[in-house]
Amino acid sequence: MKKKPTYWNNIAGYLSGEMNLVQTREFLDEVNKDQQLKNDFELMKRTWDQFNTNPGDKYRDTGKAWSKLNNRMEEDGLLEEHVPAVSIHKMQYFLRIAAVILVILAVGIPAVYYSADKGEQQEMVTYEAREGTLTVDLPDGSRVFLNQNAGLEVNNDFENARTVKLRGEGFFDVLADPERPFRVTSGKVTVTVLGTSFNIREAMDQSVEVFVESGKVRVDLADQDQCITLGPGQLGKANVMLETSTLDDDNYLSWKTKEFKFVDETVDNILQILERSYHVEVITENVNASGLRLTTSYSEQSFDAILSTICAALDMHYEKAGKVYILHAN
């Protein structure tokens, strides 16, 4: 999920003391409701307080900082297509603005994230996707998409060793850094990469699946002298042994992409995939969907919009109670 400019502006406004009393109350209420905002805010506040004891560190390596900031802002859609060149003087000026400094913290400049005091031990940062999916930007510029109920722990020495721990399911888009391999521990496996994108899914039976979208990863099985290397399109599964196969499921990453493709698929299977991707429940007690099949595709549509088209095609309607949908024949 992309973060809007107001997301960063609100944090900047609070830390710089530019909010009035009403705005401050509204912002703190939002922090208490939004776990991602709370995590980012607490991290930035700690770093901001440390910088206030050594202000010169806010403006180190401004050219490199601006380059990384500009790239991530473009990814998040915060910049127009045509942005005039920024002079060094203006660049340094912008980087002195609280809002931009805070965005840099979110982008993940290690020198900023960890502050100038290398001797001070930083506590481990934990992210939890309690409602729906959650996007986490790591200090090195890598990005993680957590599926609902997943958790991510970021190593307190991330600047020196890019190590994280995943519980549940997450998709990783890792920036290359040959000198610092990126490692993810999930259940019984450790996944090691240099720069790639891949998905890890930890199942209830304690098995772990690793799917590689791009690049290569190595998967090591804990307490076993076993490892496999996976390339694009390959799926590795760790249970008692490590197994490798080619993924033939077009909807494996649909929980993240919200892109769906169904070819002569049973309606039961379609609904199961949609339930998992949108974290809803569909009850079909009043209709017999087991023998029905559909060929269709969807792209970044809401669940209600998708279900409406399915119902229209099958002469059904639905009623909704929270996240529970009940199908009825017309």
Question: Confidence band (pLDDT; 50, 70, 90) for 85?
Answer: very low
The dihedral built from the CA positions of residue 86, 88, 89 and 92, taken in this order, carries a sign that is positive
CB 234 within 8 A of CB 246: yes
Instruction: Compute the average pLDDT of residues 197-208.
Output: 91
Q: Is the pTM of this model over 0.85?
A: no
In terms of Cβ atoms closer than 10 Å to its own Cβ (0-12, 13-18, 19+), residue 165 is middle
pLDDT at 172 over 70: yes
In this predicted model, which residue has the larger pLDDT, 51 or 62?
51
Neighbours of 154 (CB within 10 A): 21
Q: What local confidence, expressed as pLDDT, does residue 164 receive?
A: 95
Q: What local confidence, expressed as pLDDT, does residue 96 receive?
A: 40
What is the rounded average pLDDT for all residues in the chain? 78
CATH number for the domain whose boundaries are 125-246 = 2.60.120.1440
What is the topology classification, in CATH, of domain 254-329? Phage tail protein beta-alpha-beta fold (3.55.50)
In sequence order, the 6+-apart residues with CB closer than 8 A to the CB of 42 are none
Span 216-225, pLDDT tens digits: 999 999 877 8
The residue ranges of every structural domain in the chain are 5-113, 125-246, 254-329
